[in-house]
Chain A
Amino acid sequence: SAVISQKPSRDICQRGTSLTIQCQVDSQVTMMFWYRQQPGQSLTLIATANQGSEATYESGFVIDKFPISRPNLTFSTLTVSNMSPEDSSIYLCSGGLGERNEQFFGPGTRLTVL
């Protein structure tokens, strides 16, 4: 298995500001994924981050709002830009690992926008 950490674990932010969430994996992974989980809902994929190339965004998510960096095979960041209360969610990163194609998740970042 892989151990994935995220920082911060939670934050309360003001409308119009930005927050960068960091995701660190203890193993090298080719792909990392960012998901959003709105209150009481399931997980929705925001984007796929491949090292050395631009992230691929799902319908409804754009790079200007959710810029992603992937500087190496163990680290990624997601920025939530120009935040509004509708961005209040849990943001989770995951990494796919090994031949068993299992994905492991970070503990999530709980974001509240006032």
Chain B
Amino acid sequence: AQTVTQSQPEMSVQEAETVTLSCTYDTSENNYYLFWYKQPPSRQMILVIRQEAYKQQNATENRFSVNFQKAAKSFSLKISDSQLGDTAMYFCAFMKHRGNTPLVFGKGTRLSVIA
């Protein structure tokens, strides 16, 4: 079975600064997907970024980028130029490559952006 570990329950960052959220996972699969989801107080789960394990290039989406280390089974999220609207719970998630399979989530990191 797959497991996802987020070791930082809470983090804070000053507005306009950069913050990195950590995620490690355990799997015997060779091909899979990794995701970061954001859940603001509205509780809507918002997909932030997606990484395919067979791609070595790290995914980027505007101010969000990942550092994917497949051998280390590490998948960290970097948020640059943090904004107040980035305040939310962030969940790291794993999905098998077979498609249409459910997500396995980490426990989440609560990020607060401070003005």
Output the nearest chain B residue to A92 by Cβ-Cβ distance: B45
Instruction: Kindly state the separation between the CA atoms of A103 and B47 in the bound complex, as whole angstroms.
Output: 8
* Shortest Cβ gap from A8 to chain B (Å): 14
| Interchain CB contact under 8 A, B43 and A108 | yes
B105 lies within 8 A of chain A by Cβ: yes
Residues of chain B at interface, number, CB under 8 A: 22
Count A/B pairs, Cβ under 8 Å: 53
| Interchain CB contact under 8 A, B95 and A103 | yes
Interface SS, A side: strand
Interface residues in B4-61 by Cβ distance below 8 A to A read 33, 35, 37, 42-45, 47, 50
Interface residues in A19-59 by Cβ distance below 8 A to B read 30-31, 33, 37, 41-45, 48
Chain A residues in 8 Å Cβ range of B105:
42-44
* Shortest Cβ gap from B34 to chain A (Å): 11
Chain B residues in 8 Å Cβ range of A104:
47
- Give A81-114 as 1s and 0s: 1 = Cβ < 8 Å from B's Cβ atoms: 0000000001010101000111111011010000
Chain B residues in 8 Å Cβ range of A90:
43
Instruction: Kindly state the separation between the CA atoms of A31 and B100 in the bound complex, as whole angstroms.
Output: 6
Q: Which B residues fall within an 8 A CB radius of A? A: 33, 35, 37, 42-45, 47, 50, 91, 95, 97, 99-108
Subset of 18 A-B contacts with CB under 8 Å:
A41-B107, A42-B105, A43-B103, A44-B105, A45-B103, A90-B43, A92-B45, A94-B45, A100-B50, A101-B95, A102-B35, A103-B35, A105-B37, A105-B44, A107-B42, A107-B43, A108-B44, A108-B45
